Structure 1
Amino acid sequence: MSSRTASCACGQLKIVVQGEPLGTGLCHCLACQRRTGSVFAALAAFREPYEVIGVANEFVRTGDQGARFRFRFCPACGSNLFHTEEGVEGTVGVAVGGFGDPDFPAPQDSVYTCRMHRWVELPEGITRHDRDPV
C-alpha cells in the first residue's frame, strides 16, 4: 500500500497516511475560513493507520450539528495540518495543501456553499451542499 506524507510549513509536524483518500472535499464555513486564513478548507479523509511525527498543539471546535473536531497545528509555524472528530474512530482529515501535490485527487463534495465567496468557481461535477449534509 502506498503512503503519503503531509507536512506543516516548517517541516516540524508531519502526518503519514496510507492508501488513497476515502474522499476529498471543500468546506466554506466561516470557521474553516478563519481557521485556514483562506476562503475555504480543502480536506482529504483517510483511514487508520496513520503516523504523526513531531509535536502538535490542539484546538477543539464544536460544529453546527454538535460534533466536536480536534484540529492539530504546528506550534512553531502555526500550520493547521489535520483533525479528528471526537467519537468517530478510524479516520483522520488532512489539509490537502499539506501534501504539496498538484496531482492530488480533486474534491468530490463542497459543503457550506451558502458561505462560499461569490467569485469562487467549483470544479464541474462536484456535489454541492448548502450546509453540512449530516
Structure 2
Amino acid sequence: MTREAACHCRAVRLECTGEPAKISLCNCLDCQRRTGSLFSVAAFFPRGSVRQMSGDCGTFRRDSASGFPITFHFCRKCGTSLWWEAERLPHLVGIAAGTFEDPAFPAPAQAVWTKDRHHWLAFPDTVPCSRENPAPRP
C-alpha cells in the first residue's frame, strides 16, 4: 500500500509505502502547543519507507517530553508540521496522521502522556493509555 501525506497548501508531499509500524496519540503539553489542539496523532513508518516527493521544508529541533531531541519538518509556505524524527526512535519517521486526508486511517494503538490529558477528554477502552511514554521497542 502507498499513502500520500501533504501539507495544507500541498507544496510538501510525502509518499509512504507499507503500513505504519505504530500509530500513537500523544497528550503531552509540547504536542498540544505544536498542534494547537489537545493531542497529536502520529503514524510512525520505517525510515526507508518514507520519501519526500516535493516541497521546501524548514526544521525545528527541541527536546521531547521524554528528554530526547526531536526534529520537526514543516512547510515553509503554509507552516504545516508534517513529519518528525525522534532520536528516541531513530528507525522510524513520525508523520501527522491528519496530513493523509483519510478518515478511514487506522486508529491509534496507544495514547501516551495521559498525565497531561484534558480532564474531560476520554479514549475508547480499546486504546491502551500510558501516563508518560512507554520504553521504545527495538
- Could you state the TM-score of these two structures normalised by the residue count of structure 2? 0.90
The reply on whether 1:96 has 2:97 as its aligned counterpart is yes
Q: Runs of 4 or more off by more than 4 Å in structure 1? A: none
| Residue 87 of structure 1: how far off its partner (Å) | 6.9
Q: Superposition RMSD on alpha carbons, in Å?
A: 1.3
Q: What letter corresponds to residue 120 of structure 1 in structure 2?
A: L
- Could you state the TM-score of these two structures normalised by the residue count of structure 1? 0.93
Q: Deviations along 1:65-116, whole A, 9 cap, x unmatched?
A: 3211110111111111100123744321000000010000000100010111
Q: Deviations along 1:14-58, whole A, 9 cap, x unmatched?
A: 111110111111000000000011100010100123111211110
Q: Structure 1: how far apart are the matches of 2:130 and 2:90?
A: 24
Unaligned runs of 5+ in 2: none
Unaligned runs of 5+ in 1: none
Aligned to 1:124: 125
Q: What letter corresponds to residue 51 of structure 1 in structure 2?
A: R
| Residue 120 of structure 1: how far off its partner (Å) | 1.5
Q: Structure 2: how far apart are the matches of 1:115 and 1:88?
A: 22
- SS of the aligned residue for 1:39 comes to coil
The reply on whether 1:59 has 2:38 as its aligned counterpart is no
Q: Structure 2: how far apart are the matches of 1:89 and 1:115?
A: 25
Q: What letter corresponds to residue 92 of structure 1 in structure 2?
A: V
Aligned to 2:6: 7
